């Protein structure tokens, strides 16, 4: 009797164990498929070498303006592009020497510098820098840096592929994204990654070179009009005659001023006469001892 009960019970246990094992094998297979697909994605994404070159130079030249023109022409010859060009002259010191009463000689010491940024094809970067170095009389700094953006480029490609697959599944109805803002943000990220890779491709193809050069201080002399009004004076005799005329004019003004005060003068005289008259009428007191 007991054997009849145990046999069906053992059959149920074996059946449940078989179902569980089958389910576990399916989950393992799914996990394995995911791992295989991820590894295949890494294998298919070929690692491309993306080396970005940048360079800087600082040097002294005989003439900044002429060197600027030569560098511009050289850049065009190498099928490059001038990205930035600035020439600046700064006055160091200035002295004015009086030449005559109405003119002076101004002597100015100034320095001239230039900054040029160019984009040159990377394959001709070394050759371009050598030719620029020959234009200077003294080379202060010359350096070149290389940054490897291969992994950054590959990561952007893989992320872009994942987003493309997700968008394809969303369009096919396999994946449901309820919030439209998430779809828009996903597409914006795809655009940013595409633009980022395009920028890396351009940086690999073309190198940025920053050039800074200068020349010795220059002395410049020019004759200009005297702009100091105090230096403009008349001859002595003319100034003496003018002073006499001014003195006579002042005397006339004083006389005219006194003439305007004639009422006060007469009033003062009358008051003085009255005071004098009363003083004379006072009795004289004689003190007898």
Q: For residue 177, give the nearest of 188, 192, 166, 162 by alpha carbon.
A: 166
What pLDDT was estimated at residue 284? 55
Pairing of strands 206-214, 138-148: unpaired
Distance separating alpha carbons of residues 274 and 200, to the nearest angstrom: 114
What pLDDT was estimated at residue 27? 39
What pLDDT was estimated at residue 226? 74
Distance separating alpha carbons of residues 149 and 153, to the nearest angstrom: 6
Distance separating alpha carbons of residues 197 and 191, to the nearest angstrom: 10
Check if the beta carbon of residue 118 is closer than 8 Å to that of residue 75: yes
What pLDDT was estimated at residue 254? 83
What pLDDT was estimated at residue 56? 95
Residues in the chain, pLDDT under 70? 1-46, 229-236, 281-289
Tell me which long-range contacts 37-40 makes (C-beta under 8 A, separation of at least 24).
Answer: none
What pLDDT was estimated at residue 213? 95
pTM over 0.75: no
Check if the beta carbon of residue 147 is closer than 8 Å to that of residue 207: no
Pairing of strands 206-214, 218-225: unpaired
Give CA angle at 255 (252, 256), nearest 5°.
85
- For residue 179, report the phi and psi dihedrals to the nearest 5 degrees: -90, 115
For the stretch 69-106, pLDDT in tens is: 999 999 999 999 999 999 998 887 888 887 777 788 88
């Amino acid at each position: 009797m007991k054997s009849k009960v145990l046999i069906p019970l053992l059959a149920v246990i074996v059946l449940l164990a078989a179902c569980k094992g089958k389910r576990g094998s399916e989950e393992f297979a799914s996990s394995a498929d995911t791992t295989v697909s991820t590894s295949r994605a890494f294998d298919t994404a070929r690692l491309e070498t993306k080396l970005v070159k940048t360079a800087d130079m600082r040097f002294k030249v005989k003439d900044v303006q002429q060197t600027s023109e030569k560098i511009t022409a050289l850049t065009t010859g190498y099928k490059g592009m001038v990205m930035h060009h600035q020439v600046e002259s700064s006055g160091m010191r200035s002295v004015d020497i009086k030449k005559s009463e109405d003119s002076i000689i101004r002597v100015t010491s100034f320095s001239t510098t230039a900054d040029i940024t160019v984009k040159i094809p990377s394959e001709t970067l070394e050759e371009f820098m050598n030719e620029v170095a020959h234009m200077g009389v003294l080379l202060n700094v010359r350096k070149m840096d290389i940054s490897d953006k291969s992994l950054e480029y590959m990561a952007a490609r893989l992320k872009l592929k994942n987003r493309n697959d997700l968008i394809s599944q969303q369009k096919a109805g396999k994946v449901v994204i309820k919030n439209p803002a998430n779809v828009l943000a996903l597409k914006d990220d795809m655009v940013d990654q595409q633009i980022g890779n395009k920028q890396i491709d351009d940086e690999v193809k073309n190198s940025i070179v920053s050039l800074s050069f200068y020349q010795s201080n220059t002395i410049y002399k020019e004759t200009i009009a005297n702009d100091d009004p105090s230096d403009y004076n008349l001859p002595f005799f003319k100034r003496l005659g003018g002073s006499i005329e001014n003195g006579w004019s002042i005397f006339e003004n004083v006389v005219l001023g006194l003439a305007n005060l004639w009422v006060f003068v007469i009033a003062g005289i009358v008051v003085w006469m009255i005071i004098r008259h009363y003083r004379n009428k006072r009795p004289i007191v004689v003190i007898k001892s």
